[in-house]
Chains A and B, each alone.
Chain A
């Protein structure tokens, strides 16, 4: 009839084996920050605006998890934005999503989970970094894309798998990239997930 599906974030653990899976709900939303943790109310780890170059949030794995219900099949999971995030990330700054050169852009969970790393309180490692980046993406020709590039008229396919049992779907890997001329503001961003 209906499947029970939530939006979860994986943190901690080791590559291929996250330690935690927290559900995003109305009052407990994920926060992009400079620490690998699910702590919606913790404002201790903002992303400092750098004096030069870029700072990054730790990347996050956000995914749909089918936890129960009665259903035949869930598939065709898409990701898109309204095309106008509204945050001022500075020159070449962006809210980005891990990208693959072909096929689904989602990160298979838990097999391709890559523990987010960086320097707490300062910057995360870039998804694209050849050494410390996300291993599922950093070898791609285009390892990330600007979230604003995915809109309702051009949706990203996160997961085309047919899910017929309760399990995790592939994850959207998100990260903020902040340039030295970014400005600090309080805004909201909506990132629909469709299936």
Chain B
């Protein structure tokens, strides 16, 4: 049994000079850590659903399970000085008579002082 929630979205950070850093290299499945994102240069940031092909590459490269879906993509445009909010919020329900159940992940996206989206694993907004 998997002891983690499989990812259903991954991030791509687009820079002002037209380049981009994706969480996963689409050719190899290798991961780039979020700490590598040069935040002051980001002009657009988004959560994107996995394709079957990318999920397969990630599984092969890292043995990590991700789930491909037909969920929509969500992006936020950033201006100079905007502060990005992008994170995963995980909830674990700890039931005193039923153990640990119902783990879930919400993907959060927005900017400080602006609208913040809470995106569920099924692609729906909270």
Q: Considering only CB atoms and an 8 Å cut-off, how many residues of chain B contact the other chain?
A: 25
Q: Which of B1-51 contact A (CB under 8 A)?
A: 3-7, 23, 31, 33-35
Residues in A whose Cβ lies below 8 Å from that of B112? none
Interfacial residues, chain B to chain A (CB-CB below 8 A):
3-7, 23, 31, 33-35, 62, 64, 89-101
Classify chain A's interface size.
20 to 34
A-B contacts at CB below 8 angstroms, number: 84
Are A1's CB and B62's CB within 8 A? yes
Residues in B whose Cβ lies below 8 Å from that of A32? 96
Contact indicator per residue, chain A 69-93, by CB within 8 Å of chain B (1) or not (0): 1101100000000000000000000
Are B3's CB and A6's CB within 8 A? yes
Are B89's CB and A3's CB within 8 A? no
Q: Is chain A's binding surface mostly helix, strand, loop or mixed?
A: loop
Query: How far is A30 from B100 in the complex, measured between Cα atoms in Å?
Result: 9
- A111 → B minimal CB distance (Å): 23
Interfacial residues, chain A to chain B (CB-CB below 8 A):
1-7, 24-32, 40, 62, 64, 69-70, 72-73, 186-195
- A39 → B minimal CB distance (Å): 14
Query: How far is A31 from B94 in the complex, measured between Cα atoms in Å?
Result: 11
Residues in A whose Cβ lies below 8 Å from that of B64? 1-2
Q: Provided the pairs A7-B100, A27-B99, A29-B100 are in contact, do residues A69 and B94 lie with their beta carbons within 8 angstroms?
A: no
Are A193's CB and B94's CB within 8 A? yes
Q: Provided the pairs A1-B64, A2-B7 are in contact, do residues A191 and B101 lie with their beta carbons within 8 angstroms?
A: no
Are A1's CB and B5's CB within 8 A? no
Interface centre among B34, B95, B96, by most A CB within 10 Å?
Answer: B96
Residues in B whose Cβ lies below 8 Å from that of A4? 3-4
Could you jot down 8 A-B contacts, CB within 8 Å?
A: A2-B4, A7-B94, A27-B99, A64-B92, A72-B35, A188-B97, A190-B95, A195-B89
